[in-house]
């Protein structure tokens, strides 16, 4: 095994790697190793591992034909990835991989009135190529995860598009809270319905319910609600919510980032 050393890395880049490592529950070294392996397609690693599928956003995988046919699930959607055959690409041979999605269609001949069929999703290239079946499968995984928004980049792109649709009153509150808590080392996220701030032990959500601002606190990686607080839906409520969140995160041991 070879050790690599990278000098003069920007501090902001290092901080983003640390945040990503925390999200994936890995050390910084482990996260860097995973990033490098992903960047080069892991040519020496063979077929994707369970961790590879999970990082791409898939929740369940069934290998129907060893190394050739897989059925995968993500966000209640069901796909089939098939490594079909080697094909000629100029003077070399590459493996071809196809993607299908299982969807429901109306069928009056069925007692239920519907049936499942496999269909090729629009917008995904018909061919995903690799020098080996494993590399072709990795290519198909990346295309599908990006197209459907399952992987980290796809989710970020989808959330950014949704965040632009956030209700104006909620967006004003969220922007104000971000400003008041910018000195804390928090992982932040938002979509059209809510915003989230995550520390080492707790995460807090803000959402809008009618004319009220709702603040919900959870332990990290748990679904158990610790506390729910309600404020009037107005920009001034951002100060009260941010003050409560600061107490929580500072008790969390997070402290502030040194200038």
Helix%, strand%, coil% for the chain, nearest 5 = 35, 30, 35
Residue 228 exposed, middle or buried by CB count within 10 Å (0-12, 13-18, 19+)? exposed
Cα separation, 80 vs 64, whole angstroms: 10
pTM over the 0.75 mark:
no
Strands in 141-211 per DSSP E: 187-190, 194-198, 202-209
What class does CATH assign to 168-251?
Answer: alpha beta
The confidence score (pLDDT) of residue 257 equals 33
The candidate with the shortest Cα–Cα distance to 215, out of 203, 224, 201, is: 203
Structure tokens at 94: 């590459």
Burial class (CB in 10 A: 0-12, 13-18, 19+), 148: buried
Q: What is the pLDDT of residue 34?
A: 67
Q: Where are the domains of the chain?
A: 1-39, 47-158, 168-251
Distance CA 157, CA 210 (A): 28
Q: Which residues contact 240 (CB under 8 A, 6 or more apart)?
A: 231
Six-digit token string for 243: 């003050």
pLDDT tens per residue, range 71-124: 999 988 999 999 887 766 665 667 888 899 999 989 888 888 889 999 988 888
Per-residue pLDDT tens digits for 240-257: 999 999 998 887 654 433
> Which is nearest to 180 in space by CA: 122, 121, 239, 134?
239
Q: What are phi and psi of 19, to 5 degrees?
A: -65, -40
């Amino acid at each position: 095994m070879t050790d690599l050393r990278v000098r003069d890395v920007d501090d902001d880049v290092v901080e983003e790697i640390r945040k990503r490592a925390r999200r994936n529950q890995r050390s910084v070294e482990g996260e860097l190793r995973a990033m490098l392996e992903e960047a080069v397609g892991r040519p020496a690693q063979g077929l994707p591992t369970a961790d590879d599928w999970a990082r791409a956003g898939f929740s369940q995988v069934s290998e129907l034909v060893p190394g050739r046919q897989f059925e995968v699930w993500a966000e209640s959607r069901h796909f089939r990835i098939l490594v079909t055959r080697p094909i000629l690409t100029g003077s070399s041979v590459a493996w071809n991989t196809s993607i299908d999605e299982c969807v429901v269609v109306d069928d009056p001949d069925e007692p239920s009135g519907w049936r499942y069929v496999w269909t090729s999703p629009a917008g995904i290239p018909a061919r995903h190529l690799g020098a080996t079946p494993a590399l072709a499968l990795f290519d198909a995984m990346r295309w599908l995860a990006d197209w459907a928004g399952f992987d980290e980049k796809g989710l970020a792109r989808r959330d950014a598009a949704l965040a632009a649709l956030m209700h104006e009153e909620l967006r004003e509150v969220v922007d104000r809270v971000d400003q008041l808590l910018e000195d804390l080392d928090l992982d932040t996220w938002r979509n059209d319905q809510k915003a989230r701030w995550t520390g080492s032990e707790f995460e807090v959500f803000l959402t809008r319910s009618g004319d009220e601002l709702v603040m919900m606190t959870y332990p990290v990686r748990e679904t158990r609600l610790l506390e729910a607080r309600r404020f009037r839906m107005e920009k001034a409520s951002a100060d009260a919510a941010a003050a409560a969140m600061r107490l929580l995160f500072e008790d969390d041991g997070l402290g502030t980032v040194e200038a």
